[in-house]
């Protein structure tokens, strides 16, 4: 990033307040009368401006209007946040907390207050975060730093919280949006999404239904497989909710959604050591990655106003089925070796692939009580229970040149993990106000986690592999480990101090901790039979305020975070398992600024500086990380600039123009010292989007160009497969979007 660009970002600096958070009608349920966005980061409604932590919030309607329909689109406008997309659907990286290959979720996902996605580290949760369509959403909140006291496991880096739009009880509303676009060097994409809400019983019972179809075209060719634009996607989802309010004190909301994500090939391009593609927009390998995810989630929320407090129950049931196929070049040379130890012959033209299947069933229940009066002592007290059951299989499979499984090598080697995860926890936050301006909050959560684990080892080459281990002097892998059980008690803490120097301005200090669960380990000879939770503690201070008579908002934070007992992948005898590998520290600053200098014009900027490094290494993990290694998938500098302008053009119509620039510095794909996952250094990039159109209360017509300069931005990737597989930005894409509202 050059000095001029850096100066532009510094002028536009300050922390997590999106441009959209400044523009909402008072009727929007996500906003108060002044248009300030209302969030529930602390499990009670309050202005984003009053939350004593780093948070960015987006309204679903504003995301839809801007054409940002996926997690990676709007997280790019969140300071200090990246998205890792390697090996699955992608997962947020907040404040640099990642080892490149997340073995369990580091950032939690919450939908209507219920945790969605696996808690255990065995069930692919670290690579496949839930990504909801904005047609379904009232808002999205991105909470940065550990959130362990209120949200529990898997929030050691932060949290993404989705809130669904609720049914309307007094009138009929509807919205439909269609989009058509063409990608340079690729094909034609289209999408359609719609939602309708209506009262069934006036002012008492309402129904809302929505759905979407999204068909992004491919833009990468595979000459070996003979397929053009092979990385196309086929995604769709439906959502339905009921809202029942029989009395002013009682509200019941039930929502269910089904979602299917199907990507025929990921957006990989093979790059050389010079950071240039071997062939532009090509992935010329016999095998290529595939990704499929089906999600069924049902959430019930009951709110009852007791007068002195609000009682809330949140229940959820979910079934999530994930399937991933990856190229496995490192096994291509090993399969013939297994033949020498009694394995099956390998037919000519066979290529090795690694597939992973992770069906998860999960139930969760939370019950909490939040004070509702305005006295000096306020509280949020609750209890939480979850039960999760999954069978995850990871297999090395032989494929013929037509990408069909070779029956005798389906699989060659396979591991099955049957995992049961239970957690019960109690939590509480107490806030004491020493007056209108100053308050202190303390929080504690105590949870008991129990896991039962069983591993099976199978495949046509399983016996040959054990013969190979014997040749190396290692013990064989058992065909069935039997059931192993383990449990742990985890405590997390919170302490915040907040001082309002004006009704719209405050400074705060925050200390918070978070964790990711430990558990029984893969049965690999020479490696420990279990691993413990890794954890973070975060020290943070910040400033949030409006200025210039409310025309400007600034949000700044600085933080220092310690990451202890990092969960890392280690290897023995060619097999991988988990271990607590060492410690790290991360520090940085984040900021955002929003200005409305004249009617119709909004300017916004974000910037983040992040420095994360490994500080100590366990001897067992010496081949996986080293002291001084930068944390991967996180740039030291990143930021964005956004402009939106609206002006009347006659009647009830107005013209709209806007643009967004996003800047990201260089990043490593993995830890620099890792011998298991070799690193590749991705260069920094800048991306530009522009849009223009006309709109009124009922119709919005917009023309857009995304990736205006046709930049081959390298977003994330891996070098663990013997080649540099890099996910690249979609080339220049031009299109039109039309929205109808009723």
Helix segments in 240-372, DSSP class H? 329-332, 334-340
More confident residue, 324 or 8: 324
Reported as type and span, the H/E element at residue 81 is strand 81-84
Residue 7, pLDDT above cutoff 90: no
| pLDDT more than 90, % of the chain | 67
Reported as type and span, the H/E element at residue 5 is helix 3-11
Kindly list the structural domains of the chain, giving each domain's residue range(s) and its CATH number in brackets, ordered by start. 3-439+452-741 (2.40.170.20)
**What's the half-sphere exposure (Cβ side, CA atoms, 13 Å) at 224?**
14
What tokens were used for 322? Answer: 């994930």
Give the pLDDT band (50/70/90) at residue 613.
Answer: very high
For the segment 511-524, what is each residue's pLDDT rounded down to a tens digit? 999 999 988 888 88
Residue 651, pLDDT above cutoff 60: yes
Task: Summarize the confidence of residues 226-247 as an average pLDDT.
Answer: 94
- For residues 219 and 730, give the distance between their C-alpha atoms in angstroms, rounded to a whole number: 7
The string of DSSP letters for 591-641 reads EEEEE--STTEEEEEEEEEEEEEEEEE-GGGTTT--TTPBPSS--SEEEEE
More confident residue, 384 or 531: 384
For the segment 321-346, what is each residue's pLDDT rounded down to a tens digit? 988 888 887 777 778 888 889 999 98
Task: Summarize the confidence of residues 61-87 as an average pLDDT.
Answer: 84
The pLDDT of residue 378: 95
Q: Please state whether beta strands 158-164 and 107-111 pair in parallel, antiparallel, or not at all (unpaired).
A: parallel
The pLDDT of residue 628: 94
Reported as type and span, the H/E element at residue 4 is helix 3-11
Task: Summarize the confidence of residues 151-174 as an average pLDDT.
Answer: 95
Give the pLDDT band (50/70/90) at residue 241.
Answer: very high
Task: Summarize the confidence of residues 10-20 as an average pLDDT.
Answer: 34
Question: Of 377, 276, 338, which Cα lies nearest the Cα of 724?
Answer: 276
Task: Summarize the confidence of residues 227-237 as an average pLDDT.
Answer: 93
Highest mean pLDDT of the ranges 29-38, 102-111, 493-502: 493-502
Give the pLDDT band (50/70/90) at residue 213.
Answer: very high
Task: Summarize the confidence of residues 713-740 as an average pLDDT.
Answer: 92
**Contact between 552 and 595 (Cβ < 8 Å):** yes
The pLDDT of residue 30: 55
- For residues 698 and 651, give the distance between their C-alpha atoms in angstroms, rounded to a whole number: 13
Residue 155, pLDDT above cutoff 50: yes
The pLDDT of residue 524: 82
- For residues 650 and 34, give the distance between their C-alpha atoms in angstroms, rounded to a whole number: 27
For the segment 30-71, what is each residue's pLDDT rounded down to a tens digit? 555 556 889 999 999 999 999 999 999 999 988 888 888 888
Residue 281, pLDDT above cutoff 90: yes
CB neighbour class for 282 (10 Å; exposed up to 12, middle 13-18, buried from 19)? middle
Q: CB 715: neighbour CB atoms within 10 A?
A: 24
Residue 84, pLDDT above cutoff 60: yes
More confident residue, 373 or 465: 465
Task: Summarize the confidence of residues 73-95 as an average pLDDT.
Answer: 82
Question: Of 492, 587, 588, which Cα lies nearest the Cα of 533?
Answer: 492
Residue 16, pLDDT above cutoff 70: no
The pLDDT of residue 300: 97
Give the pLDDT band (50/70/90) at residue 86.
Answer: low
The pLDDT of residue 361: 95
What tokens were used for 43? Answer: 């499990």
Residue 282, pLDDT above cutoff 50: yes
Residue 489, pLDDT above cutoff 90: yes
Highest mean pLDDT of the ranges 162-166, 349-353, 469-473: 162-166
Question: Of 456, 465, 462, 383, which Cα lies nearest the Cα of 424?
Answer: 383
- For residues 346 and 412, give the distance between their C-alpha atoms in angstroms, rounded to a whole number: 10
pLDDT mean across residues, the chain: 89
CB neighbour class for 195 (10 Å; exposed up to 12, middle 13-18, buried from 19)? buried
Task: Summarize the confidence of residues 226-248 as an average pLDDT.
Answer: 94
Residue 312, pLDDT above cutoff 70: yes
- For residues 308 and 379, give the distance between their C-alpha atoms in angstroms, rounded to a whole number: 11
The pLDDT of residue 20: 36
For the segment 406-416, what is each residue's pLDDT rounded down to a tens digit? 999 989 999 99
Residue 12, pLDDT above cutoff 70: no
Give the pLDDT band (50/70/90) at residue 225.
Answer: confident
The pLDDT of residue 115: 95
More confident residue, 578 or 144: 144
For the segment 587-596, what is each residue's pLDDT rounded down to a tens digit? 999 999 999 9
What tokens were used for 44? Answer: 């009670």
| pLDDT more than 70, % of the chain | 94
The string of DSSP letters for 338-393 reads HHHTTPPP--TT-EEEEEEE--EEEEEEEEEEEE-S-SSEEEEEEEEEEEEEEEEE
The pLDDT of residue 348: 86
Give the pLDDT band (50/70/90) at residue 654.
Answer: very high
- For residues 654 and 672, give the distance between their C-alpha atoms in angstroms, rounded to a whole number: 52
For the segment 558-587, what is each residue's pLDDT rounded down to a tens digit? 999 999 999 998 887 777 788 899 999 999
Give the pLDDT band (50/70/90) at residue 739.
Answer: very high
Residue 137, pLDDT above cutoff 60: yes
């Amino acid at each position: 990033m050059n000095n001029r660009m850096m100066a532009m970002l510094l002028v536009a600096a300050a922390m997590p307040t999106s441009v959209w958070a400044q523009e909402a009608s008072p009727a929007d349920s996500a906003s108060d009368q002044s248009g300030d966005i209302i969030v529930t980061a602390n499990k009670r409604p309050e202005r984003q401006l009053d939350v004593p932590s780093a948070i960015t919030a987006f309204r679903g309607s504003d995301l839809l209007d801007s054409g940002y329909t996926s997690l990676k689109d709007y997280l790019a406008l969140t300071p200090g946040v990246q998205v890792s997309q390697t090996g699955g659907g992608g997962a947020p990286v907040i404040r640099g907390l990642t080892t490149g290959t997340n073995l369990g979720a580091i950032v939690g996902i919450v939908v209507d207050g219920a945790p969605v996605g696996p808690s255990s580290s065995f069930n692919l949760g670290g690579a496949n975060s839930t990504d909801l369509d904005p047609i379904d959403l009232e808002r999205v909140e991105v909470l940065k730093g550990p959130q362990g006291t209120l949200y529990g496991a898997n929030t050691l880096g932060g949290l993404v919280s989705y809130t669904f739009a609720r049914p309307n009880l007094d009138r009929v509303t509807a919205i439909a949006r269609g989009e058509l676009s063409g990608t340079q060097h690729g094909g034609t994409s289209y999408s359609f999404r719609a939602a309708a809400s209506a009262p069934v019983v006036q002012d008492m019972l309402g129904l809302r239904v929505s759905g979407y179809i999204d068909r992004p075209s491919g833009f990468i060719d595979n000459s070996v497989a003979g397929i053009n634009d092979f990385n196309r996607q086929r995604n769709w989802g439906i959502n339905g909710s009921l809202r029942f309010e029989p009395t002013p004190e009682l509200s019941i909301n039930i929502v269910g959604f089904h979602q299917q994500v199907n990507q025929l090939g990921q957006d990989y391009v093979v790059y050389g050591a010079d950071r240039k593609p071997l062939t532009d927009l090509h992935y010329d390998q016999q095998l290529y990655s595939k990704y499929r995810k089906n999600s069924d989630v049902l959430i019930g929320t009951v709110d009852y106003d007791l007068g002195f407090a609000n009682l809330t129950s949140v229940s959820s049931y979910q079934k999530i089925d994930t399937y991933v196929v990856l190229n496995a070049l490192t096994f291509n040379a090993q399969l013939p070796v297994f033949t020498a130890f009694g394995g099956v012959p390998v037919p000519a033209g066979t290529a090795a692939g690694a597939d992973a299947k992770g069906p998860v069933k999960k139930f969760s229940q939370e019950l909490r009580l939040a004070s509702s009066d305005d006295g000096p002592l306020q509280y949020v007290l609750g209890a939480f229970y979850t039960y999760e059951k999954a069978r995850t299989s990871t297999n090395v499979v032989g494929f013929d040149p037509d990408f069909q499984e070779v029956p005798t090598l389906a699989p060659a080697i396979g591991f099955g993990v049957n995992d049961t995860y239970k957690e019960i926890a109690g939590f509480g936050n107490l806030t004491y106000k020493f007056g209108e301006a100053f308050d202190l909050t303390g929080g504690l959560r105590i949870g008991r986690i129990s896991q039962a684990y069983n591993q099976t080892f199978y495949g046509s080459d399983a016996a040959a592999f054990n013969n190979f281990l014997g040749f190396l002097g290692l013990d064989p892998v058992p065909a069935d480990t039997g059931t192993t059980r383990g449990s742990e008690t985890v405590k997390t803490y919170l302490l915040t101090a907040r001082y309002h120097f004006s009704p719209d301005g405050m400074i705060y200090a925050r200390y918070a901790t978070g964790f990711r669960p430990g558990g029984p380990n893969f049965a690999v000879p020479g490696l420990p039979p279990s691993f413990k939770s890794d954890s973070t503690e975060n020290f943070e201070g910040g400033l949030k305020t409006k200025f210039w008579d409310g025309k400007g908002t600034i949000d700044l934070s600085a933080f220092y975070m310690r990451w202890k007992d990092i969960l890392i992948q280690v290897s023995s005898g060619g097999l991988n398992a988990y271990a607590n590998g060492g410690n790290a520290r991360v520090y940085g600053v984040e900021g955002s600024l929003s200005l409305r200098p004249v009617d119709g014009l909004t300017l916004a900027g974000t910037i983040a500086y992040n420095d994360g490094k490994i500080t100590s290494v366990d001897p067992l993990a010496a081949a996986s990380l080293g002291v001084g290694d930068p944390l991967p998938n996180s740039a030291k500098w990143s930021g964005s600039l956004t402009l939106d302008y609206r002006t009347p053009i006659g009647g009830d119509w107005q013209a709209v123009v806007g643009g967004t620039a996003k800047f990201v510095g260089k990043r490593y794909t993995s830890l620099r010292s890792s011998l298991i996952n070799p690193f590749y250094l991705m260069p920094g990039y800048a991306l530009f989007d522009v849009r223009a159109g006309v709109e009124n209360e009922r119709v919005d017509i917009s023309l857009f160009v995304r990736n205006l300069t046709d930049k081959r931005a390298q977003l994330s990737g891996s070098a663990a497969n013997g080649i540099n597989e890099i996910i690249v930005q979609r080339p220049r894409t031009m299109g039109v979007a039309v929205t109808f509202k009723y």
